[in-house]
Amino acid sequence: MTTRSSLEADLAARLDSATEARWMVEEVLGRRAAREHAVSDAVVEAVAAMADRRLAGEPLQYVLGTWAFRTLELTVDPRVLIPRPETEHVVEVALRQLRDTAPSRRDASGPIVADLGTGSGAIALSIAAEVDDVIVWATDADRDALAVAAQNRARVGATRPEVAERVRLRMGDWVDWFGALPATLEGGIDLVVTNPPYVSALEWIDLEPSLHQEPRSALVADDGSDGTPGFAAVEAVLRDGHGWLVPGGSVVVEIAEHQAHAARTLAGALGYRDVRVERDLAGRDRVFVGRR
In a domain? residue 64: no
Distances (CA, A) of 27 to 46, 239, 285: 10, 43, 35
Whole-angstrom Cα distance, residue 283 to residue 9?
A: 37
Give strand pairing partners of 138. 115, 169
pLDDT at site 176? 72
Establish if 63 belongs to a structural domain: no
Nearest to 252 by CA among 87, 103, 83: 87
* Domain shared by 147 and 287, yes or no: yes
Question: Which DSSP category does 281 fall into?
Answer: T
So what's the pLDDT on residue 174?
66
Q: Within this chain, do residues 138 and 195 fall inside the same structural domain, yes or no?
A: yes
Q: How many CA atoms lie within 13 A of 252 on its CB side?
A: 29
Residue 17 and residue 86 in one domain? no
pLDDT of residue 110: 87
Same domain assignment for residues 209 and 77: yes
What are the per-10-residue average pLDDT scores of the chain (292 residues)? 89 94 90 77 92 95 96 96 94 93 58 96 98 95 96 97 97 80 94 96 92 94 96 96 94 97 97 95 94 95
Whether residues 99 and 20 fall in one domain? no
Rounded to 10 deg, the angle between the 232-241 and 260-270 helix axes is 20
* Nearest of 239, 225, 90, 263 to residue 177 by alpha carbon: 239
Contacts 24+ apart (CB under 8 A), 200-209: 200/229, 200/230, 202/229, 203/229, 203/230, 209/57
Which positions ≥6 away from 95 have C-beta within 8 Å?
Answer: 127, 130, 131
Q: Give the model's pLDDT for residue 33.
A: 67
pLDDT score recorded for residue 214:
95
Q: Are 235 and 225 in contact (CB under 8 A)?
A: yes
Same domain flag for 78 and 105: yes
Q: Report the SS3 class of residue 199.
A: strand
Which of 113, 139, 122, 49 lies closest to 81 in space, CA to CA?
122
- Count of domains for the chain: 2
Q: How many CA atoms, within 13 angstroms, populate the side-chain half-sphere of residue 133?
A: 9
Q: Is residue 52 part of a domain?
A: yes
Residue 143, in any domain of the structure: yes
151 and 269 share a domain?
Answer: yes
Residue 35's pLDDT is what?
Answer: 76
- What CATH number is attached to the domain comprising 181? 3.40.50.150
SS3 content of the chain, % helix, strand, coil (to 5): 45, 20, 35
Provide the β-strand partners of residue 277.
288
Distance of alpha carbon 142 from alpha carbon 121, whole angstroms? 12
271 within domain boundaries: yes
Q: At what angle do helices 4-15 and 18-29 cross, to 10 degrees?
A: 140
Asked whether residue 265 falls in the same domain as residue 193, the answer is yes
Within this chain, do residues 48 and 83 fall inside the same structural domain, yes or no?
A: no
Whether residue 97 sits in one domain with residue 22 = no
**Which residue range(s) make up the domain with 235?**
70-291
pLDDT score at 229:
98
pLDDT at residue number 106: 44
Instruction: Classify the phi-psi angles of 121: left when phi > 0, otherwise alpha if psi is within -120 to 50, otherwise beta.
Output: left
